[in-house]
Amino acid sequence: MGRRLGALVQGAGWVSGEHIKAYLANPHIELVAVNSRFQQELDQKKAAYGLTCELTVNAYEKLLARDDIHVVSICTINFLHTREAVMALEAGKHVLIEKPISISLEELRQLRDGYVKAFAKGVRGQAGFVARWYPLFRAIRSLVDKGAIGDIYYAASDYWHEVLGAWKTKADLAGTSFLMGGCHSVDAIRWFAGSGFEYLKKQDPKLYKLRSGVGDVAEVFGYNVSARHRKDFGYDPNTFAILRFANGAVGKVGSSVECNMPYVFNLELMGTKGAVRNDEFWTDDIAGVKSFLRIPTLRPDSPDVTHHPFQEEIDHFVDCILNEKANDADLWHAIGTHEVMFAIDESAKTGTPVRLPVL
C-alpha cells in the first residue's frame, strides 16, 4: 500500500483538531490543507499542532478543484454538512462527514442522491460515528458476530449529554436532540442488532454482504419532552422512541441534550443465548457462569472529543479506500440511521407511529 492520499479538513472548530491529529499520524495521508470561515480558528490550530499545510479562509470550492486532495473531512457546523459533503462528492472526493450528516429529510435526500452517483464512480463516504471504534464496542461487536448472545430481540441505547454552546440550541443550526447527539445511540443499536445495510444491498450487492440479525427498522413511535432544566432551546431537547425491527424485534432509544447530570451512553442487548449491559455480558456458551462478566476496557463514557477514538476511525476509512475494502461504517449505513431519526422526530411531532422507509 504505497499510495498516499491528500486530505482536506473543512472547518477548524473543536472536533477538527482530532481529524487533524489523526491525518498527521497516518502514514498514508498527507494533510494538504485546513479551510475555515474564521482566521482565528486557523491560527489556533496552527499553534496547537504545528501545521505546515495550507491554511485558507473561505476557499473550499478552490480546494475541491485540486488534484492533490483526495479525502475531505467535513467538520463544520451542522447545517453546512450536507451542502459541503455534496460539493465534495461531486468533485470526486472521498468524504468523512461529522454527524449529523443532514438536519432535514430533504437534505438527506440530496445527500443520498449525490452519493448514489459518486458511489458508482468509486467514491466512498463515511459518517463520524466514532463510538464504533471504542475498544468496548469492538469487543461487543465481536461477541455479536460470533453468536455469543444469539439472535437479538431487544436493543436499547441512551445518549444523555448536556450540550453547551449557543448554536447547539437552535433548530436551524443544530437540528434536533437526536441529530445533535442521540444519533450515536440509533447508530449503535442498528450496528449491533440489525444489518443496517439495505441501501448497500440495493447499490452494490456483490461488494457488501448483509450481516445476519434483526434487519432494519420498520416502524417507530417517538415522544418529545420540552425543556425543563434549561430555557434556551429552540427545539425539544429530550426525545425518546420505541422501534420495531423488520422481524418483530424491539428497540428503545433516548436522547437528552439538556440533562442535568454527567455524560451517559447506555447500551443493552438481549438475545436468545445471552445479553450485554454496557461493559458487562452474559452468555450460556460459558458453562457455570451465574452473573454478568465485565469487559475491562475503554468505553464511551466521556463527551470530550480527545477521549474518542478518532485515530482508529480515520485509519479505518483510509484503509477501506486504499485497499477497496467493504466498510460496514459506510455512508449508506449513516443514511439509514438518519432516516430512522427523521421518522422518530416526525412521530414525536404528530403523536402517531411512522412506518419506514420515509426517504
Q: What is the pLDDT along the chain (359 residues), one digit of tens a residue?
A: 468 999 999 999 999 999 999 999 999 999 999 999 999 999 999 999 999 999 999 999 999 999 999 999 999 999 999 999 999 999 999 999 999 999 999 999 999 999 999 999 999 999 999 999 999 999 999 898 888 998 899 999 999 999 999 999 999 999 999 999 999 999 999 988 864 444 445 545 544 443 333 458 999 999 999 999 999 999 999 999 999 998 788 999 999 999 999 999 999 999 999 999 999 999 998 888 889 999 999 999 999 999 999 999 999 999 999 999 888 888 988 998 999 999 999 999 999 999 998 98
Whether the bond between 100 and the residue before it is cis, its omega within 30 degrees of 0, is yes
Separation between Cα atoms, residue 167 and residue 156, nearest integer Å:
29
Q: Which fold has domain 133-301+330-355?
A: Dihydrodipicolinate Reductase; domain 2 (3.30.360)
Domain boundaries for CATH 3.30.360.10 within the chain: 133-301+330-355
| 185, 254 Cβ separation under 8 angstroms | yes
SS (H, E, C) 182-243: HHHHHHHHHHHHCCCCHHHHHHCCCCCCCCCCCCCEEEEEEEEECCCCCCCCCCCCEEEEEE
Q: Alpha-carbon dihedral of residues 79, 82, 87, 92, nearest 10 degrees?
A: 140
Cβ-based neighbours of 47, under 8 Å, separated by 6 or more: none
| 13, 75 Cβ separation under 8 angstroms | yes
Cβ-based neighbours of 291, under 8 Å, separated by 6 or more: 282
Largest pairwise CA distance in the chain: 64
CB-hemisphere CA count at 13 Å for 42?
A: 17
Domain boundaries for CATH 3.40.50.720 within the chain: 5-127
Query: Which grid cell is 99?
Result: 454527524
Q: Which of 5, 64, 7 is nearest to 31 (CA)?
A: 7
| 203, 228 Cβ separation under 8 angstroms | no
Cβ-based neighbours of 307, under 8 Å, separated by 6 or more: none
What type of residue is 141? Answer: R
Element (H, E) at 332: helix 331-350
Element (H, E) at 265: strand 264-271
Looking at domain 5-127, does it have CATH number 3.10.20.30? Answer: no
Separation between Cα atoms, residue 250 and residue 17, nearest integer Å:
38
299 alpha carbon, distance to own chain's centre: 16
| 82, 107 Cβ separation under 8 angstroms | yes
pTM over 0.85: yes
Q: Which of 132, 143, 140, 128 is nearest to 179 (CA)?
A: 128
Tell me what pLDDT residue 289 has: 84
Q: What end-to-end distance do the CA atoms of the chain give, in Å?
A: 38
Q: Which of 328, 338, 334 is nearest to 141 (CA)?
A: 328
How are beta strands 250-256 and 125-127 bridged, if at all? Answer: unpaired
Query: Which grid cell is 200?
Result: 448497500
Q: Alpha-carbon dihedral of residues 61, 66, 72, 77, nearest 10 degrees?
A: -20
What type of residue is 241? Answer: A
- CA distances from residue 224 to 228, 239, 350 in whole angstroms, order as listed: 12, 4, 10
